[in-house]
């Protein structure tokens, strides 16, 4: 080897050693551990779902604390997660869904919440302050908004007395009776759709029993022939524009669309009587957040009774904030779409660990 | 040219029909998009009367106009830099011989071949580790418009170099030699003789680079940081929350801008010498 090659090789080795040495540079104390209530350390970099927070609320925070709020959006948990877990994303606060919180905790990508910096945590309703399957003690996440997954229907097609059951999409006879063949959409989501089938059969949507999952797979496979599309984004628009008569989807999305329809009374949403998914989106502080104190201040700000209510009044999802209830618009509180009357059969989607892949496989096979 | 035993008239008519169908396939969806951008109905696809409201809404939407501005900045800077670097790369491959040339050639094709997602994840890891490395020597860096621009340059260089290389290889080198015989320096030769001849290729490469940069979603999503949301990324994230014809208005604006760009470049190209390469008489 010539001297030039040797020198090049030596340079590469040195570089490699240097980067290896830097790779394991971890701070012992968690980020945000020294923050005090209301303290800020720079602008807030928020990574959130689109249209999930009122721009007025952001402006209010900016004025109150003298910082700027930069918001960027992602359209799925799966898109947000690699960017955060890789590190150096630049974001302070993210809004992951329930099951994604467990994945982020396992990967060490989110920091524990410094409770002394968030005194408004006491405003949370009991069932959200602790006991959530993905974060039992609320160490890493703070609930943001919650909702349900169920069925939206066009009453002009199915009639006012339509049975509120998953059978509308899974039962061939019911579909024929109400003219739903080719006029329904189901969520393109393994856990949601397999979960709906499991609930229809009377099982838990977090089962790890292969037999039960196979039964659910058969149910979904049978529904595939009647489905117009497996759709996770436009289902509400397809319903309201008349192209479908029943749609499987998330509560808040339906509500927003129904308000915009020519005749809002024509449509309704319900969680079927067999039960369904309750999901909750949460706020979490990124492990290498550049401005953790501002992030904590923002969480505390949103947990304030009036601000929490403002959030719900704008995006029509349910609030986990018990103190906010007096400030939420009465029509939102009374709306069974936002706050379902019977919440006993609702389940959170929980991480089933190694069994997760079975859900995806079963769904892919059933979808065909 | 082989001849097929078929009546010429029918053949040309069928060809004409096929061409018309191809145009329809390309442009009918765009026409529908444009038409419904003027529809006064929240649902995309229903006609509710003529309105310019969606364009007004676009103009007033802070986040959309911010992301448009970011897109334009990234497109402009990444195009300029990648055109320069891409042209240099094309020259090195066409005009010189050096060790490792084949490897360089193959590497240059890589960004064209590999899937967007792979490229995105690569850039994500690269920037994350890079920031760590810079941090350890005391330089503060963060993901943002800079990292997005760098990723765009990364794939644009390849596309520009391919286009310019094609133009270079079809060029007549006699003119260059004649210029140098007449005492022109290499620099003068390049600017006065070579550059005008490859300019159509460079403009073509630049157009391609701008388009790719403005369109890009996946790589941008992975390389972006706070405050660096580009327009297509913003539009993509809105789909999850509900599409209104404002998306149509945004698309029409971008369409018109691209068309203007193409028209301008054609005019500029037309003002120069003809774009067909000078034939080599060997």
In terms of C-beta density within 10 A (0-12 exposed, 13-18 middle, 19 or more buried), how is residue B169 classed? exposed
Q: What percent of chain A has pLDDT above 90?
A: 48
pLDDT: which is higher, B48 or A173: A173
pLDDT band with cut points at 50, 70 and 90 for residue A295: very high
Which of A73, A252, A258 to mutate: most B Cβ within 10 Å?
A73
What separation in angstroms does the CA of A31 have from each of A36, A46, A94, B18, B138? 13, 16, 15, 63, 19
User: Is the distance from CB of B242 to CB of B42 less than 8 angstroms?
Assistant: no
Q: Which pLDDT does position A139 carry in this prediction?
A: 92
For the whole model, what pTM was predicted? 0.80
Which residues in chain B come in under a pLDDT of 50? 275-276, 279-282
A51 contacts B128? CB cut-off 8 A:
no
Q: How many domains does chain B have?
A: 1
Fold of A147-278+345-367: D-Maltodextrin-Binding Protein; domain 2 (3.40.190)
Averaged pLDDT for residues A246-256: 88
Residue-level pLDDT at A299: 94
The boundaries of every CATH 3.40.190.10 domain in chain A are 44-146+279-334, 147-278+345-367
B 147-206 residues with CB < 8 A to A: none
Do the Cβ atoms of A89 and B225 come within 8 Å?
Answer: yes
CB atoms B226 and A45 under 8 Å: yes
- CA distances to A32, A118, A286, A303 from A39, rounded to whole Å, are 10, 10, 17, 16
* Chain A partners within 8 Å of B128 (Cβ): 86-89
Q: What pLDDT was estimated at residue B157?
A: 96
pLDDT tens digits for A211-228?
999 999 999 999 999 999
A29: confidence class by pLDDT, cuts 50, 70, 90: low
Name the residue with higher pLDDT: A148 or A252. Answer: A148
Average the pLDDT over A189-202 and give the result. 90
Give the residue carrying structure tokens 């012992």: A28
pLDDT of residue A340: 86
- CA B149 to chain centroid, in Å, comes to 13
Does residue B7 lie within any of the structural domains?
A: no
What gap in Å lies between CA A364 and CA A220, rounded to an integer?
Answer: 10
Q: Which domain range does residue B203 map to?
A: 65-271
Its sign, for the CA torsion B129, B132, B134, B139, is positive
How many Cβ atoms from other residues are within 10 Å of residue A82's Cβ? Answer: 15
What number of C-beta contacts closer than 8 Å exist between A and B? 101
Other CB atoms within 10 Å distance of the CB of residue A268? 19
Tens-place pLDDT, residues A71-107: 998 878 888 999 999 988 999 999 999 888 988 999 9
**3-state DSSP assignment of residue B8:** helix
- Which residue from B160, B150, B170, B168 is spatially nearest to B209, judged by alpha carbons? B160
> Which residues from A are below 8 Å from B121, CB to CB?
82
The token pair that represents A173 in the structure block: 């006879």
- Whether B202 maps to a domain, the answer reads yes
* Residue A65 scores a pLDDT above 80: yes
Residue-averaged pLDDT of chain A: 88
Superfamily name with CATH number, domain A44-146+279-334: Periplasmic binding protein-like II (3.40.190.10)
Restricting to B residues 95-124, those with a Cβ less than 8 Å away from any Cβ of A are 121, 124
- Residue B4: the pLDDT is 62
3-state secondary structure of A216: helix
The candidate with the shortest Cα–Cα distance to A318, out of A266, A271, A265, is A271
CB contact under 8 A, B124 and A83: yes
**DSSP strand pairing (A93-94 vs A276-286):** antiparallel
pLDDT beyond 80 at A56: yes
Confidence class for position A25, pLDDT limits 50, 70, 90: very low
- Whole-angstrom CA distances from A191 to A80, A276, A362 are 18, 11, 10
Burial class (CB in 10 A: 0-12, 13-18, 19+), A220: buried
Hey, is the C-beta of B48 within 8 angstroms of any chain A C-beta? no
Which pLDDT score, from 0 to 100, does residue A147 have?
92
Q: Domain with B159 in it: what CATH number?
A: 1.10.3720.10
Q: What was the pLDDT predicted at A58?
A: 94
The structure tokens 């039992």 sit at A136
Question: What's the complex ipTM?
Answer: 0.76
pLDDT score of B282: 47
To which residue do tokens 């195009």 refer?
B79
Interchain proximity A25–B225, CB inside 8 Å: no
Residue A359: count of CB within 10 angstroms of its CB: 26
- d(CA A211, nearest CA chain B) in Å: 34
B236 contacts on A by Cβ (under 8 Å): 75
């Amino acid at each position: 080897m010539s001297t030039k090659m040797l020198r090049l090789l030596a340079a590469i080795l040195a570089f490699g050693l240097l980067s290896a040495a830097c790779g394991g540079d971890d701070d012992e104390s968690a980020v945000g551990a020294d923050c005090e209530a209301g303290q800020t350390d720079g602008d807030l970099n928020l990574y959130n779902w689109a249209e999930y927070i009122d721009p007025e609320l952001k402006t209010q925070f900016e004025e109150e604390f003298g910082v700027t709020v930069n918001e960027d959006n992602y359209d799925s948990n799966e898109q947000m997660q690699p960017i955060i877990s890789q590190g150096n994303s630049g974001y302070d606060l993210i809004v992951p869904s329930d099951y994604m919180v467990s994945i982020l905790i396992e990967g060490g990508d989110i920091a524990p919440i410094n409770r002394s910096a968030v005194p408004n945590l006491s405003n949370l309703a009991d069932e959200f302050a602790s006991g959530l399957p993905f974060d039992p003690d609320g160490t890493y996440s703070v609930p943001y908004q919650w909702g349900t997954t169920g069925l939206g229907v066009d009453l002009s097609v199915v009639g006012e007395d339509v049975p509120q059951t998953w059978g509308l999409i899974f039962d061939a006879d019911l579909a024929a009776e109400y003219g739903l063949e080719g006029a329904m959409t189901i969520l393109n989501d393994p856990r949601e759709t397999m979960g709906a089938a499991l609930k229809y059969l009377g099982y838990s949507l977090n089962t790890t029993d292969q037999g039960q999952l196979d039964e659910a797979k058969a149910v979904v496979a049978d529904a595939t022939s009647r489905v117009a599309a497996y759709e996770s984004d436009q289902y509400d628009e397809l319903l309201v524009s008349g192209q479908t008569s029943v749609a499987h989807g998330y509560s808040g999305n339906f509500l927003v669309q129904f308000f915009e329809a020519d005749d809002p009374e024509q449509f309704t949403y319900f969680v079927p009587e067999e039960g369904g998914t309750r999901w909750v989106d949460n706020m979490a502080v990124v492990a290498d957040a550049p401005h953790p104190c501002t992030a904590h201040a923002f969480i505390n700000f949103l947990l304030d009774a009036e601000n929490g209510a403002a959030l719900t009044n704008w995006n029509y999802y349910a609030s986990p904030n018990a103190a906010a209830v007096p400030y939420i618009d009465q029509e939102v509180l009374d709306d069974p779409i936002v706050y379902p009357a019977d919440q006993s059969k609702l389940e959170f989607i929980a991480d089933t660990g190694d069994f997760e892949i079975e859900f995806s496989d079963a769904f892919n096979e059933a979808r065909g | 040219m082989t001849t097929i035993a078929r009546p010429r008239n029918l053949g040309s008519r069928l060809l004409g029909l096929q061409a018309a169908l191809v145009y329809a396939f390309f442009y009918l969806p765009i026409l529908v998009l444009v038409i419904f951008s003027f529809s006064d109905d929240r649902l995309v696809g229903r006609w509710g009367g003529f309105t310019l409201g969606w364009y007004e809404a676009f103009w007033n939407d802070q986040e959309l106009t911010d992301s448009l501005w970011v897109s334009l900045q990234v497109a402009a800077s990444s195009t300029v830099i990648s055109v320069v670097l891409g042209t240099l790369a094309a020259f090195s491959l066409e005009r010189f011989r050096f060790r490792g040339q084949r490897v360089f050639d193959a590497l240059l094709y890589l960004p064209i071949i590999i899937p967007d997602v792979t490229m995105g994840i690569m850039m994500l890891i690269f920037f994350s580790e890079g920031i760590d490395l810079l941090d350890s020597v005391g330089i503060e860096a963060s993901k943002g418009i800079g990292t997005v621009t760098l990723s765009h340059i990364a794939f644009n260089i390849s596309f520009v170099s391919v286009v310019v290389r094609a133009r270079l290889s079809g060029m007549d080198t006699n003119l260059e030699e004649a210029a140098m015989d007449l005492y022109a320096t290499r620099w003068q030769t390049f600017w006065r003789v070579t550059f005008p001849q490859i300019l159509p290729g460079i403009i073509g490469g630049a157009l391609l680079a701008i388009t790719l940069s403005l369109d890009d979603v996946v790589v941008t999503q992975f390389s972006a940081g706070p405050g660096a949301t580009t327009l297509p990324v913003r539009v993509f994230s809105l789909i999850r929350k509900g599409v209104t014809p404002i998306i149509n208005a945004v698309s029409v604006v971008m369409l018109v801008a691209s068309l203007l760009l193409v028209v301008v470049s054609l005019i500029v190209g037309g003002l120069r010498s003809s774009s067909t390469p000078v034939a080599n008489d060997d």
